[in-house]
Each structure stands twice: as C-alpha cells, then as structure tokens.
C-alpha cells in the first residue's frame, strides 16, 4: 500500500506479485457478519477444499485481518495467492 484516504474510502497500491491478498470489496469492518447456523461450517469446508494444504496459512491470514477488525468473506485462490513452488 502506498497511501489511503479515509474520506474517499480509497487506497493506492503498487502492482503486486504472489504472495498477495486482494479484493476487499466483500469485507465487513469492525463487526463479524451474522450467519444462520451451518453456513459457516459449509463455508469453511468449501475453503478447506479450495486451498488444500494452504488452508492453515489462509486461516492465519484471516485471523490477522480480524485483529484489525477486517472480516474477509469472499476468499478464493484468485485473491489469496501464494508463490508457486517448483
């Protein structure tokens, strides 16, 4: 991040390469969303499948974001990307 403006809700960033975390359009701020019973369990199962062995790292990233009051909902391998290992 290069800069931000609280009044315009905008941030300025450079072009990034993996690893990166993008797409805060679905984020909730300061308060966790309230979902019906079972929804979070289904979401978690889907994300575990999508990220496979990277899921523990993704959980750590999401936990760190929550420390700042950011609850990221629309996570997928396209917006949390890791360096490919050869």
State the Cα–Cα distance between residues 2 and 15, nearest whole angstrom. Answer: 11
* Domain enclosing residue 68, as ranges: 3-81
Give me the pLDDT at residue 28, please: 77
Q: What is the mean pLDDT of the chain?
A: 81
Please state the domain count of the chain: 1
Q: Considering the domain boundaries, does residue 76 fall inside one?
A: yes
pLDDT reading at 56 higher than 90? yes
Q: Using a pLDDT cut of 90, give the percent of the chain over it.
A: 21
State the Cα–Cα distance between residues 76 and 46, nearest whole angstrom. Answer: 10
* pLDDT tens digits, 68-79: 888 888 888 888
Q: By the 8 A CB rule, do 25 and 74 touch?
A: yes
Q: By the 8 A CB rule, do 71 and 12 touch?
A: no
Q: Considering the domain boundaries, does residue 86 fall inside one?
A: no
* pLDDT tens digits, 23-51: 666 777 888 778 888 888 898 999 999 99
State the Cα–Cα distance between residues 57 and 60, nearest whole angstrom. Answer: 5
Give me the pLDDT at residue 51, please: 93
Among all chains, which residue has been given the structure tokens 């797409």? 23
Selected residue with higher pLDDT from 86 and 43: 43
pTM over 0.95: no
């Amino acid at each position: 991040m290069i800069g931000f403006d609280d009044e315009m809700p905008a941030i300025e960033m450079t072009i990034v390469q993996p690893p990166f975390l993008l797409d805060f359009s679905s984020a909730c701020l300061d308060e966790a969303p309230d979902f019906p019973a079972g929804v979070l369990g289904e979401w978690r199962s889907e994300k575990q499948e999508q990220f496979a062995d990277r899921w523990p790292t993704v959980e750590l990233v999401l936990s760190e974001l929550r420390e700042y009051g950011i609850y990221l909902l629309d996570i997928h391998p396209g917006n949390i990307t890791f360096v490919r290992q050869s």
